[in-house]
């Protein structure tokens, strides 16, 4: 069962051409990889008019899960982490009504901005949460 899940996870990662591993918590890393893939799709031609909405919904799903762990484990650094999640959602909300399809350079700019933001987040503030969850053995 565990082996089958590991193969499934590996296939998913290969399929989406993932970036480096971001977490030892499988659900957290898998969701990060999906977020990076969605951010990458912003650059695709033709532009997918639903991509910002799909990214927003998936990001909210991911943030809610992380924040549920924070609440359940009384995570002491929850407030700034939740604030960072909210900022990402605000940036995305501002992009939702944009149609950058006439300007590939704008698609690339928005995608790169979100990519850099997310990379900093998952390799910074999320690592602290990962350590805390791993030590609590409630992953």
Q: Which is nearer to Fe ion, 62 or 111 (CB)?
A: 62
Q: Which is nearer to Fe ion, 37 or 66 (CB)?
A: 66
The answer for 74, left when phi > 0, alpha when psi is -120 to 50, beta otherwise, is left
Instruction: Count CB neighbours of 35 within 10 A.
Output: 22
Q: What's the closest the beta carbon of residue 27 comes to Fe ion, in angstroms?
A: 10
Q: Which is nearer to Fe ion, 77 or 103 (CB)?
A: 77
Question: What is the distance, to the nearest Å, from the Cα of residue 121 to the centroid of all Cα atoms in its chain?
Answer: 9
Q: What's the closest the beta carbon of residue 37 comes to Fe ion, in angstroms?
A: 14
Nearest position to Fe ion, beta carbon: 126
- How big is the chain, counted in residues? 139
What residues line the site for Fe ion (CB under 5 A)?
A: 66, 126
Q: What's the closest the beta carbon of residue 75 comes to Fe ion, in angstroms?
A: 11
Name the nearest CA neighbour of 84 among 62, 57, 110, 100.
62
Q: Which is nearer to Fe ion, 28 or 111 (CB)?
A: 28
d(CA 57, CA 59): 6
Q: What's the closest the beta carbon of residue 5 comes to Fe ion, in angstroms?
A: 20
């Amino acid at each position: 069962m565990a082996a089958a899940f590991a193969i499934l996870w590996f296939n998913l990662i290969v399929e989406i051409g993932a970036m480096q591993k971001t977490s030892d918590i499988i659900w957290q890393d898998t969701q990060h990889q999906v977020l990076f893939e969605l951010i990458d799709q912003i650059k695709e031609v033709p532009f997918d008019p639903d991509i910002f909405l799909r990214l927003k919904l998936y990001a909210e799903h991911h943030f809610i899960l992380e924040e549920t762990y924070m609440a359940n484990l009384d995570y002491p650094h929850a407030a700034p982490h939740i604030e960072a999640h909210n900022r990402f959602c605000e940036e995305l909300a501002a992009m939702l009504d944009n149609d950058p399809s006439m300007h590939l350079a704008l698609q690339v700019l928005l995608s790169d901005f979100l990519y850099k933001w997310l990379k900093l987040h998952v390799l910074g503030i999320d690592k602290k949460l990962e350590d805390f969850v791993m030590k609590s053995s409630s992953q």
